[in-house]
């Protein structure tokens, strides 16, 4: 069973990310930001703009995003499971044994995530087609998302 959970992006098209190494938050552009980005090979790893440590593409979810995805997925999953169990134990009418399946209370799906338009866009000189957003209070140096090269802004 597969569930789709949508995570919001901000008005500039940036998706909030959390570094698995330094736990710092930044944003990367969701989807190609330009033609150059479209033609670039798709990355398997990215470098944290804040600490420069790399991780594979699927390791950058924030705690809020993970909790939200769980919050959305678990009730749906429980409902599906309850339906399947109900079908599985359906008995003929004259059966001596009665089964019933009741779903225990499952938490409601959480309120949708909202992505604030915070942080500042910075682009590395080496891979300018892959801009990131970093917290305004940080002054760098930062690291290129694509190759990990250090750069100042
Ligand atoms: Zn980091
Ligand atoms: Zn670069």
Per-residue pLDDT tens digits for 66-120: 999 999 888 888 888 888 888 887 766 666 666 676 766 666 778 889 999 999 9
Q: What is the per-residue pLDDT across 36-73, written as a single tens digit (0 to 9) for each?
A: 888 887 789 999 999 999 999 999 999 999 999 999 88
* Ion ligand 2: protein residues whose beta carbon lies under 5 Å: 124, 126-127, 144, 146-147, 149
> Could you tell me the distance, in angstroms and rounded to a whole number, from the CA of residue 26 to the centre of ligand 2?
17
Tokens coding 34: 């330009």
What's the CA gap between 104 and 123, in Å, rounded?
A: 50
**Could you give the angle at the alpha carbon of 147 between the alpha carbons of 150 and 11, nearest 5°?**
85
38 neighbors 6 (Cβ within 8 angstroms): no
The label of the residue with tokens 């990990």 reads 148
| pLDDT bucket at 123, cuts 50 / 70 / 90 | very high
15-24: average pLDDT: 98
- Show the DSSP H helices in the chain as ranges: 35-39, 63-88
What's the CA gap between 150 and 93, in Å, rounded?
A: 72
What's the CA gap between 3 and 81, in Å, rounded?
A: 13
**The pLDDT of residue 37:** 81
> Could you tell me the distance, in angstroms and rounded to a whole number, from the CA of residue 51 to the centre of ligand 1?
4
**The pLDDT of residue 98:** 66
Of 22-36, 80-94, 131-145, which one has max mean pLDDT?
A: 131-145
The answer to whether the Cα torsion of 120, 121, 126, 127 is positive or negative is: positive
Helix, strand, coil percentages for the chain (3-state, nearest 5)? 20, 15, 60
1-30: average pLDDT: 93
> Could you tell me the distance, in angstroms and rounded to a whole number, from the CA of residue 37 to the centre of ligand 1?
22
- If phi over 0 gives left and psi between -120 and 50 gives alpha, with beta otherwise, what is residue 10? beta
């Amino acid at each position: 069973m597969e569930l789709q959970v949508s995570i919001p992006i901000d008005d500039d098209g940036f998706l909030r990310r959390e570094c698995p190494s330094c736990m710092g938050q930044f944003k990367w552009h969701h989807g190609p930001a330009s033609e150059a980005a479209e033609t670039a090979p798709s990355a398997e790893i990215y470098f944290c703009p804040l600490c420069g440590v790399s991780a594979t593409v699927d390791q950058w979810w924030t705690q809020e995003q993970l909790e939200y995805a769980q919050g959305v997925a678990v009730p749906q999953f429980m409902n599906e499971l309850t339906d399947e169990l109900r079908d599985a134990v359906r008995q003929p009418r004259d059966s001596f044994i009665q089964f019933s399946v009741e779903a225990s209370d499952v938490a409601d799906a959480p309120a949708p995530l909202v992505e604030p338009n915070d942080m500042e866009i910075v682009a590395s000189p080496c891979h300018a087609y892959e801009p990131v957003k970093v917290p305004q209070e940080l002054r760098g140096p930062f690291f290129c998302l694509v190759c990990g090269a250090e750069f100042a802004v």
